Amino acid sequence: MLSQGIHSTAIDSTPYASNITQDRYTSSEDEGLSCQHVRKWNTFYYPSTGPKTPSPLPIPDGYRVIARSSKLSGDWSRQLTLDGSYNFYYERKPTRDFRLKCPLPCCAKVIQGCEIRKHLKDDHPGFSQDGRYRKVACIECDTMEMEVRCYANHVLETHCDVSARCAYCGNQLTRGESVTHHHIVICEALIPYRC
């Protein structure tokens, strides 16, 4: 005899999927077996019009997800068929840290290197737009002067070993490479979504 145990579980939250897993339990009388037997059916439906949404790679160990601004650039919306929720990447967490003095002459704070971006944003809003502090030199490595807006990236990438990786193709992004530009032009995993 067939028992009445039917269970339904949604296993995918994509809007196109109609996913139902059904378990039917049959007793040993039906199958001639000495134990209960489980049969499973999985049904998936994806529309045939266009590719389904891209699946990001798993987050590598030591990395975290960095979501880009929800406000899309004009290039993104003109050149990709994806909304802004797909514009993110993986960033390696700082592997080394050190203390440094803020490079701006008006500030004498000593902060953790990995907190430089937050410090500049919170304590010196508009620091690169007001024209007073256009260039600073890195005290740690005696590099030539650089624009203040580039200084935070320099500290994170050079001194804290922070790096970025594409969430779709897994390639490490080069210094100065725009994540949005990579998604639109370079990333091979997003080719089916280009206009």
Q: Which residues of 16-39 are buried (b: 16+ CB within 10 A; e: fewer)?
A: eeebeeeeeebeeeeeeeeeeeee
The amino acid at residue 65 is: V
Convert the pLDDT of each residue in 27-51 to its tens digit: 334 444 333 433 333 334 444 455 5
* Alpha carbon distance 187, 168 (integer Å): 8
pLDDT for the residue 162: 85
The pLDDT tens digits of the residues spanning 151-169 come to 888 888 888 888 889 999 9
Tokens of 160: 């804290």
| pLDDT tens column, 119-130 | 988 888 776 665
**Mean pLDDT, all residues of the chain:** 71
Measured CA to CA, the distance from residue 191 to residue 139 in angstroms comes to 42
Place 171 in a pLDDT band, splitting at 50, 70 and 90. very high
Its pTM stands at: 0.57
Model confidence over 57-113: pLDDT tens digits? 999 999 989 887 656 666 777 888 888 788 888 888 887 778 888 888 788 899 998
Q: DSSP secondary-structure letter at 160?
A: S
Query: What percent helix, strand, coil does the chain show, rounded to 5?
Result: 25, 25, 50
pLDDT at 71: 60
Tell me how many degrees the CA angle 172-113-144 measures, rounded to the nearest 5.
80
